[in-house]
Chains A and B, each alone.
Chain A
Amino acid sequence: MAVSASADARPWWWSRWIGWLWVLVLITSGAQAHPMPESRVWIDAQPAGLRLTLQLPLTRLEFAFGQPLAEDVPSKVLSQHREALVRYLLAHVHARSAQQDWLVEVSELGVNGEAGQAELEAVLWLQAPERVDSRRVTLFYDVITHEVRTHRVQVFLRQDWAGGQGAQPPRPLVQLDTAHTEWGLDLGPVPSSAVASVRTLLIQGAWHIAEGADHLLFLALLVLVAPLRAVRKDVGWRWEGCLPAVHRWRRMAWVVSAFTLGHSLTLALGSVGVLNWPAAWVEVGVALTLIVAAVHAWQPVWHQGEAGMAATLGLVHGMAFSASLSGAGLSVGQWIQALMAFNLGIELMQLALLALVVPVLWWGCHRWPPGYDRVRQMVSLGGGVMACFWLWERARML
């Protein structure tokens, strides 16, 4: 009977939390509906050259292209103008180094967005000539700006895997307009270490959790009650007494692994852009998970299926992590490496901190239960107040 009860308890909590997450999705979607007025160019550095992803608002491109593009349904743009658009782009993007022109080709062309806000997304491959440093180049770019005097182009370095800048938020490089159509890109020499990006990401992951007081507090609140026994009294469930060592280990392992599983999942989905929630809402979500964890540390909210709760709340934390990891422009292999390195950094730091705290907690729990109880209540109360403060601070920013 006990087995079936716990099997029931878990799916119930899962479905309720997933329900709430959906509510969040509905609240936050639909708010974004305004075209960005400027062009964006994302540069991905590759060993043999550069890949440029151009995002061009049709309402601006049409002036320079000379044909109306934004009037029709976006899907018709390519069927009518594909060849001419390719020719147009090739006439306005050039690269040159050591007195030699690079080869430029348009490898992908797509139209995204609804009528009136649609953008042409073009992927251009810029191939460096043989025996020329592909990391130092002069770029010429006047797509739209050769005609439109009020247009701006924001250029970002999105990925430089070999240079140690992989999977991180894009770095703004330069702003171009009618008067500025040429600039020298110097990515510097490739670091000698072949795994520069992986190492950077590992360290970043570790720092991310070590610096994230909210993530640490969440983990602390979970770990605090992991060695305790949930007992049903006539007033409801209460924490009472210490579990035997073998159970403590199991609970701890379950809870920490479940949290890891949860945040790894959303970190992965977030970094490829499948989940794309506004950071401000995710931060509010994290504060809410802290409140839940603080209440749970005071008295059991989940007397069973605690791991399910840790995993579900972990989903929210993973979305926060994914803000620092961007998979766009990486190959699948690089992205998997990036994800693993960043996550491994997070896990290693978690384990290091646990190794520091857990022995003390268990000693206290075992040797001096009343004292441990008081400490637990203090931490729960303090954590709850802290969480409310964060919630207040973050909700104001919405």
Chain B
Amino acid sequence: MKIGYVYATWLLAAALGIVTLGTRGSPEASVAALDAELNAQAASFDRAEAATDATYAAAVAFYQKLSTAQKAKARQSWSLSTARHWSNLPAQLVSRNGIAWGDLTKAQKTAALKLIRTALSTKGAKLQLGMMAADNYLADNGGGSSYGEDSYYIAFLGTPSTSDFWVLQITGHHLTYNIAFNGTYKSPTPLFLGVEPKAAFTQDGVQYDPMVSQRTAVSNLGAALTAYSGAKLSGTYSDLLFGANGSGNIDGDCPRSYSHVSDHGLPYASLSAAHQTLVKAVIRAYVNTQSSEYVSDLLGAYLDATALAQTYVAYAGTGTVTRSGDYFRIEGPRVWIEFSVQRGVIFGNDIHYHTIWRDKVGDYGGQCVS
């Protein structure tokens, strides 16, 4: 009857194993170490190679490094309702698709970063690491276990392919990329960027300021816009109009109700040439986070003369990026960028940013249609 003990021990061991299953990855592949790696090879990495093929290869390489259980988490079948399941709240409050950064080993993290860098660009990958470092900073400064790099996720929605539609979704608290391949449109949108702390901070000995280019571009535009009375919106914008504000704090229904927006601000055409450049700089600050293949396609569409003739700029609040309630929007036939300044959550006496870049027709590769 020794089997009774064997059985009891087995059950308990199984229980323990299950509970601890894949909870922690190795600590060596820290964000700081990975960031240094990016800097070291920055020049040689970004090539004008087709992102679709290179990303496919990097995705397969990453996928092969995963265990069977991890693979099942990382790969999900494509559906719009699955894709919409991302948020600007920490993953502890709104769950995410895919496999958590914290569940990856060192080798897996290296492969994951290579995938991210291939799909985006060194700039986009640095942005990602900066956001993860910002979340570590929140965890260490009063945010606790709801925050931190471990709660960023990588998901394949659909099977990676060089010809069939799939989406690489990279999502965590203040960052979501939805990079669609082989869709009707080349698009990384909806793309959510937010950050707290608001600007430069030091985490684990490295200084970061992940959103410096977007913030600076918007700040420059704001300084110019206050001179145009038509650019100011009535009312207060305390957050994004078309952020992840669907039911359950995930992305809302597709497509967003752009036609219900009645207050557009000022036509791009009414700005002086110097100020028009500032608008283009904001668009570039968002689009340039992507691979060169996508950048040239999207900038071509957004900065096309016909598109710009139908583009509007607007702001609410003070026209700076320093006060809670400050808000900016750039809206064209395709591009939709919102930038919201709001009170901090962990640093309640300071501000933090929520921003979104959408493509009215290209969101989720063009699948976000009625």
The chain A residues found within 8 Å of chain B, CB to CB, are 30-38, 59-60, 63-64, 70-71, 115-117, 147-152, 172, 175, 178-179, 233, 235-236, 238, 284, 288, 291, 294-295, 298-299, 381, 384, 388, 391-392, 395-396
For window 321-337 of chain B, which residues contact chain A by CB distance below 8 Å?
Answer: 324-325
| Distance (whole angstroms) from the CB of A112 to the closest CB of chain B | 15
Q: Check if A298 sits within 8 Å of B146, measured CB to CB.
A: no
List residues of chain A with CB within 8 A of the CB of B143. Answer: 33
> Top 4 A-B pairs ranked by shortest CB distance?
A116-B348, A63-B236, A299-B4, A149-B235
Q: Check if A388 sits within 8 Å of B93, measured CB to CB.
A: no
| Distance (whole angstroms) from the CB of A34 to the closest CB of chain B | 6
30 A-B contact pairs sorted by A residue (CB < 8 Å): A32-B92, A33-B143, A33-B144, A34-B90, A34-B146, A36-B249, A37-B249, A59-B238, A59-B342, A63-B236, A63-B238, A70-B348, A116-B345, A116-B346, A149-B235, A149-B236, A149-B241, A149-B316, A150-B237, A150-B240, A235-B2, A236-B4, A288-B15, A291-B12, A295-B7, A295-B8, A299-B1, A388-B18, A392-B18, A395-B18
List residues of chain A with CB within 8 A of the CB of B340. Answer: 150
Q: Check if A175 sits within 8 Å of B247, measured CB to CB.
A: yes
Q: Check if B238 sits within 8 Å of A151, measured CB to CB.
A: yes
For window 1-55 of chain B, which residues contact chain A by CB distance below 8 Å?
Answer: 1-2, 4-5, 7-8, 11-12, 14-15, 18-19, 21
| Distance (whole angstroms) from the CB of A7 to the closest CB of chain B | 26
Q: Other CB < 8 Å A-B pairs besides A149-B241, A150-B237, A299-B1, 13 of them?
A: A149-B233, A150-B239, A150-B240, A172-B247, A235-B1, A284-B19, A291-B12, A291-B15, A295-B11, A299-B8, A391-B15, A392-B18, A395-B19
A32-B146, A384-B7 as given contacts; A148 in contact with B345, CB under 8 Å = no
A116-B345, A235-B1 as given contacts; A147 in contact with B146, CB under 8 Å = no
List residues of chain A with CB within 8 A of the CB of B146. Answer: 31-34
| Distance (whole angstroms) from the CB of B70 to the closest CB of chain A | 11
The docked-state distance in angstroms from the alpha carbon of A31 to that of B146 is 5
For window 203-248 of chain B, which residues contact chain A by CB distance below 8 Å?
Answer: 233, 235-241, 245, 247
The chain B residues found within 8 Å of chain A, CB to CB, are 1-2, 4-5, 7-8, 11-12, 14-15, 18-19, 21, 89-90, 92-93, 143-146, 233, 235-241, 245, 247, 249, 260, 316, 324-325, 340, 342-349
| Distance (whole angstroms) from the CB of A50 to the closest CB of chain B | 23
| Distance (whole angstroms) from the CB of B245 to the closest CB of chain A | 6
List residues of chain B with CB within 8 A of the CB of A59. Answer: 238, 324, 342-343
| Distance (whole angstroms) from the CB of B331 to the closest CB of chain A | 14
| Distance (whole angstroms) from the CB of B239 to the closest CB of chain A | 5
The residue among A30, A34, A150 with the most chain B CB atoms within 10 A of its own CB is A150
List residues of chain B with CB within 8 A of the CB of A284. Answer: 19
Q: Check if A391 sits within 8 Å of B7, measured CB to CB.
A: no
| Distance (whole angstroms) from the CB of B315 to the closest CB of chain A | 13
The docked-state distance in angstroms from the alpha carbon of A178 to that of B345 is 24
Q: Check if B93 sits within 8 Å of A32, measured CB to CB.
A: yes
Q: Check if B235 sits within 8 Å of A31, measured CB to CB.
A: no
List residues of chain B with CB within 8 A of the CB of A238. Answer: 1, 4
A149-B235, A152-B245 as given contacts; A35 in contact with B345, CB under 8 Å = yes
Which of chain B's residues has its CB closest to A64's CB? B236
The docked-state distance in angstroms from the alpha carbon of A149 to that of B317 is 12
Q: Check if B245 sits within 8 Å of A37, measured CB to CB.
A: yes
| Distance (whole angstroms) from the CB of B194 to the closest CB of chain A | 12
List residues of chain B with CB within 8 A of the CB of A60. Answer: 238
Which of chain A's residues has its CB closest to B5's CB? A236
| Distance (whole angstroms) from the CB of B93 to the closest CB of chain A | 6
Which of chain B's residues has its CB closest to A288's CB? B15
Q: Check if A148 sits within 8 Å of B8, measured CB to CB.
A: no
| Distance (whole angstroms) from the CB of A317 to the closest CB of chain B | 18
Which of chain B's residues has its CB closest to A295's CB? B8
Which of chain B's residues has its CB closest to A146's CB? B235
List residues of chain A with CB within 8 A of the CB of B349. Answer: 71
The docked-state distance in angstroms from the alpha carbon of A116 to that of B127 is 26
The docked-state distance in angstroms from the alpha carbon of A30 to that of B345 is 15
Which of chain A's residues has its CB closest to B343's CB? A59
List residues of chain A with CB within 8 A of the CB of B260. Answer: 179
Which of chain B's residues has its CB closest to A175's CB? B247
| Distance (whole angstroms) from the CB of B127 to the closest CB of chain A | 22
In-complex Cβ contact of B241 among A150, A172, A395 (8 A): A150
| Distance (whole angstroms) from the CB of B79 to the closest CB of chain A | 19
In-complex Cβ contact of B236 among A148, A384, A388 (8 A): A148
Q: Check if A148 sits within 8 Å of B235, measured CB to CB.
A: yes
List residues of chain A with CB within 8 A of the CB of B324. Answer: 59
| Distance (whole angstroms) from the CB of B252 to the closest CB of chain A | 10
A64-B236, A294-B11 as given contacts; A391 in contact with B18, CB under 8 Å = yes
Q: Check if B14 sits within 8 Å of A388, measured CB to CB.
A: yes
Which of chain B's residues has its CB closest to A393's CB? B18
List residues of chain B with CB within 8 A of the CB of A384. Answer: 7, 11
The docked-state distance in angstroms from the alpha carbon of A284 to that of B249 is 25
